[in-house]
Structure 1
Amino acid sequence: MPASWARRDRVVAVRGNRCSSEGGLGEGCQREIWKKIMKTMSFGYVSELRQEFRAEGLADGIIALLDKRGVRFSDADRERITSCLDPEQLQAWLLKTPYVSNIEDLFKDG
């Protein structure tokens, strides 16, 4: 049986490297209902690439705000911000950025 055929016992169709639970539903009303249900569900998995892009965006925001406010920082400070991949830490720095007058205040705990 080719991999693209749906297995009726598991209602799973394999297409290339993707698995789809809608494959065994055929065309019609059931398939459309399945698609609507799947669009409303959120899945806990976040890819590493997405996490990196999010971290990069937060770091860019911090750097932009510091620049806009005229807060001076070194290349080492920039590297510390842009190399951080912890979204909670980046979020904390981003929220502090509008209130700091120097870079040391940004990196202080609390």
Structure 2
Amino acid sequence: MADLSFYTSPLSEEIREEGRAQGRAQGRIQGRAENILIILGVRGIGITDATREKVTTCRDPELLRQWLMRAVLATTAEEIFGEEALPGR
């Protein structure tokens, strides 16, 4: 009979928890990217293939957060990615 004790060990649980944490972080990143694109679409701001790719391939949660906040006020997609803050901010 095979020894299955590893699967109930603290190390095994730690590995599973790391995987769950990585999955949650990845889900938040994907959710932010999707929200940016939804906001732009609802606001009638054109989304080029390049913009869609830039948003969906970004893996920096803080940068996506900044873009998401800018998407609410921006009048063009280009304003979201600029270095400077939007007027009135």
TM-score, normalization by structure 2: 0.72
* Map of 1:16 onto structure 2: 7
- Which runs of structure 2 are paired with 1:17-56 in the superposition (5 Å)? 17-19=8-10, 47-56=21-30
Answer yes or no: is 1:82 the counterpart of 2:56: yes
Extract unaligned runs of 5+ from structure 1: 5-13, 21-45
Of structures 1 and 2, the one with the larger relative CO (CA 8 A, separation 6+) is 2
More strand as a share of residues: 1
Q: Whose Rg is larger?
A: 1
Q: Distance in 1 between matches of 2:82 and 2:9?
A: 46
TM-score, normalization by structure 1: 0.60
1:17 Cα deviation after fit: 4.9
The alignment partner of 1:97 has SS state of helix
Extract unaligned runs of 5+ from structure 2: 12-19, 85-89
Aligned length: 78
